[in-house]
């Protein structure tokens, strides 16, 4: 058996093993505490008890529905904080994400070794691996992004669309990327206009078919069609308000927004919105940001550029992470960004099915130019980054 044949047979398993061990180390290193800052476990408990997606006795769409639904069986079996279940789930999702990156690369024509590189990027990326220790949506969404990429690489647009729809129900910030995939598929080759439109329509059908039931549920439960969440206005306002601009945008370099002023802002927002239905509060906060952007367009533009710099920074925030952690992340990320730029320059990144990874990267980047952001926000597109970066010196599949 040749070396390449061995890589071809063992690549997905080796990448999965590396990812599983990395995530297990992160989880156990944190004592398997599984902090739940966004209250997904209470939602999972409500689902497990048969109440549905309810928070404090009221139907909610404030958080995306997929992750608490995935957590619900573990909560039902293990109790309020299912540490064993969360460990198994996050390790399995991480392993699956790395294996799918290898599969996607092979389907795109990469050599087995190049495919293995993509899998190892997913396995060891510090931003993605670090999320395994928390009850948050990045680990699940990254898996679904990898699944969509592998399905597209296998010329299965319906499956790719469905995976993108699920990713949007896991983390709604991926929906603009999914929309870009649909649009780019219609405009870019291969094939003539009719073939491209058919492929794009099948993709769109997959996305819409997954989102529609959630929208109908919210129409019945809250009186309005909500296809993602009612949380968008809050995260938009969190990164675009006068307190944030004064303390972070115009403050010392590297300032992380926290402390009494942030808490006071939160309290004021919660007080003003407490009596409003979720969809109305969502719109009210969004409208406030639009008004602020109109009054202070230059400041808003500066804030957008600052958020993009944060999103793509190779260094975590100095006020949050140690010097060693920041240096290690930089040494990993700087060469990865060089490979990513080279990979994006390849013609294959601008045609089906190679376009799916760049479109998802561009889509999430655009979202976080406007919404709250930090390094953690790019974790869901690590599989897409890995596929593009590993393609920088992509070889042809050997016969």
Rounded CA separation 313/333 (Å): 9
Which residue, among 2, 16, 20, 15, has the nearest Cα to 116 in the 3D structure?
Answer: 15
Q: Average pLDDT, stretch 200-222?
A: 97
Contact (CB, 8 A) for 387 and 108: yes
- The confidence score (pLDDT) of residue 319 equals 76
C-alpha gyration radius of the chain: 21
Give the separation between CA 197 and CA 118, rounded to whole angstroms. 30
Please tell me the distance from the alpha carbon of residue 338 to that of residue 319, in angstroms, as a whole number. Answer: 26
Band (pLDDT 50/70/90 cuts) for residue 260 is confident
How much of the chain is helix, strand and coil, in % rounded to 5? 75, 0, 25
What is the predicted pLDDT for the residue at 121? 98
Q: Do residues 98 and 119 make contact, with C-beta atoms less than 8 angstroms apart?
A: yes
Per-residue model confidence (pLDDT) at position 397: 45
**Domain ranges within the chain, ordered by starting residue:** 3-390
Distance CA 310, CA 350 (A): 26
Which of the pair, 365 or 349, is modelled with greater confidence?
A: 365
Q: What percent of the chain has pLDDT over 70?
A: 96
Q: What is the distance between the alpha carbons of residues 100 and 272, in angstroms, rounded to a whole number?
A: 45
Check pLDDT > 80 for residue 124: yes
> Which residues have a Cβ under 8 Å from the Cβ of 96 and sit 6 or more positions away?
16, 143, 146, 147
What pLDDT, on the 0 to 100 scale, is given for residue 395?
Answer: 46
User: Confidence band (pLDDT; 50, 70, 90) for 4?
Assistant: low
Which residues are CB-contacts of 263 (< 8 A; sequence separation ≥ 6)?
none
At 393, the pLDDT band (50, 70, 90 cuts) reads: low
The CB-side HSE value for 125 (13 A sphere, CA atoms) comes to 35
Residues 25-65: pLDDT tens digits? 999 999 999 999 999 999 999 999 999 999 989 999 999 99
In a 3-state reduction of DSSP, which class is residue 277? coil
State residue 2's pLDDT score.
57
pLDDT tens for 155-173 read 999 999 999 999 999 999 9
Average pLDDT, the chain: 93
User: What is the pLDDT, as a whole number, of residue 255?
Assistant: 83
What are 178-190's pLDDT values in tens digits?
A: 999 999 999 987 8
356-382: pLDDT as tens digits: 999 999 999 999 999 999 899 999 999
d(CA 398, CA 140): 33
At 330, the pLDDT band (50, 70, 90 cuts) reads very high
pLDDT band, residue 7 (cuts 50/70/90)? low
Whether a cis peptide bond, with omega within 30° of 0, leads into 353 is: yes
pLDDT at 123 over 90: yes
The pLDDT, as a whole number, for residue 3 is: 57
Q: SS3 for 35?
A: strand
Band the pLDDT of 394: cuts 50, 70, 90. Answer: very low
Residue 399: per-residue pLDDT: 38
Q: Predicted confidence band at 398 (pLDDT cuts at 50, 70, 90)?
A: very low
End-to-end CA distance of the chain: 14
pTM comes to 0.95
Span 192-207, pLDDT tens digits = 999 999 999 999 999 9
The pLDDT assigned to 321 comes to 84
pLDDT score recorded for residue 253 = 81
The whole-angstrom separation of Cα 89 and Cα 139 is 9
pLDDT at 5: 63
HEC string for the chain:
CCHHHHHHHHHHHHHHHHHHHHHHHHHHHCCCCCECCCCHHHHHHHHHCCCCCEECCEECCCCCCHHHHHHHHHHHHHCCCCHHHHHHHHHHHHHHHHHHHHHHHHHCCCCHHHHHHHHHHHHHCHHHHHHHHECCCHHHHHHHHHHHHHHHHCCCHHHHHHHHHHHHHHCHHHHHHHHHHHHHHHHCCCCCHHHHHHHHHHHHHHHHHHHHHHHHHHHHHHCCCCCCCCCHHHHHHHCCCHHHHHHHHCCCCCCCCCCHHHHHHHHHHHHHHCCCCHHHHHHHHHHHHHHHHHHCHHHHHHHHHHHHHHHCCCCCCCCCCCHHHHHHHHHHHHHHHHHHHHHHCCHHHHCCCCCHHHHHHHHHHHHHHHCCCCHHHHHHHHHHHHHHHHCCCCCCCCC
**At 338, is the pLDDT very low, low, confident or very high (cuts 50, 70, 90)?**
very high
């Amino acid at each position: 058996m040749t070396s390449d044949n061995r890589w071809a047979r063992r690549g997905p398993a080796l990448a999965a093993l590396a990812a599983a061990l990395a995530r297990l180390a992160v989880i156990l290193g944190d004592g398997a505490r599984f902090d739940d800052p966004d209250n997904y476990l209470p939602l999972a408990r409500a689902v497990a008890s048969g109440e549905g997606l309810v928070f404090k006795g009221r139907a909610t769409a404030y958080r995306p529905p997929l992750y608490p639904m995935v957590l619900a069986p573990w909560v039902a079996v293990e109790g309020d904080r299912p540490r064993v279940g969360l460990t198994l789930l996050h390790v399995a999702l991480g392993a699956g994400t790395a294996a799918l990156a290898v599969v996607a690369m092979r389907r795109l024509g990469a050599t087995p070794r190049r495919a293995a590189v993509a899998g190892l990027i997913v396995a060891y990326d510090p931003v993605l691996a670090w999320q395994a220790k928390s009850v948050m949506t990045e680990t699940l969404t990254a898996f679904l992004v990898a699944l969509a990429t592998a399905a597209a690489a296998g010329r299965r647009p319906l499956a790719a669309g469905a995976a993108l729809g699920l990713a949007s129900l896991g983390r709604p910030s991926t929906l603009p990327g999914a929309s870009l995939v649909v649009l780019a598929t219609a405009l870019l080759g291969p094939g003539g206009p009719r073939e491209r439109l058919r492929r794009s329509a099948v993709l769109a059908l997959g996305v819409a078919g997954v989102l529609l039931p959630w929208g109908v549920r919210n129409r019945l439960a809250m009186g309005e069609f909500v296809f993602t969440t009612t949380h968008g206005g809050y995260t938009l306002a969190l990164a675009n308000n006068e307190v944030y601009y004064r303390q972070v945008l115009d403050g010392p370099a590297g300032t992380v927004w926290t402390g009494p002023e942030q808490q006071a802002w939160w309290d004021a927002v919660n007080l003003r919105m407490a009596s409003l239905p979720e969809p109305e509060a969502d719109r009210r906060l969004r409208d406030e940001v639009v008004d602020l952007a109109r009054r202070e367009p230059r400041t808003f533009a500066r804030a957008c550029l600052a958020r993009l710099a944060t999103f793509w920074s190779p260094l975590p925030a100095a006020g949050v992470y140690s010097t060693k952690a920041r240096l290690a992340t930089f040494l990993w990320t700087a060469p990865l960004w060089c490979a990513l730029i080279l990979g994006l320059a390849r013609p294959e990144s601008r045609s089906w099915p190679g376009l799916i990874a760049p479109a998802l990267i561009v889509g999430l980047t655009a979202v976080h130019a406007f919404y709250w952001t930090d390094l953690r926000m790019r974790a869901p597109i690590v599989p897409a980054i890995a596929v593009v970066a590993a393609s920088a010196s992509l070889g042809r599949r050997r016969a």
